[in-house]
Amino acid sequence: MELGSAIVIGASLVISIVLVVFFLSKYNYLIKKELIQKGEGYQLPKNKFRFLELGCLLVGLGIGLGFSSIFTLLDLTEDTLDLLVWATILIFGGAGLVAAHYIRRNQESES
């Protein structure tokens, strides 16, 4: 019975992702088509730091994961350990996003 539910959950997840990508692509195509028909044209935004937030988020999560491994060495209850590990990962991930915000703001002010 567990195998059947796992298959259903996995299939529904894949179908959901495919549908989201399909509808986003279709919507994006229709917007571009309307802009071209109006004669406005469509230009991609010239963003030099396109993946800055993602990079800083991943670095922050990695640092948080590294620091959270320190808590596994301590003799703590399982609930406390889970709380500290997840809190550390999320705090450092948030710090990575804050760092990305300040980096982007500094780069835009220089331009």
pLDDT at 38: 86
Dihedral of the alpha carbons of 13, 57, 51, 110, in degrees to the nearest 10: 150
61-79: per-residue pLDDT in tens?
Answer: 999 999 998 888 888 898 9
First to last CA, the chain: 60
- pLDDT of 101 > 70? The answer is yes
36-50: per-residue pLDDT in tens?
Answer: 888 877 776 666 777
% of the chain exceeding 70 in pLDDT: 94
Cα 33 off chain centre by = 28
pTM (2 d.p.): 0.58
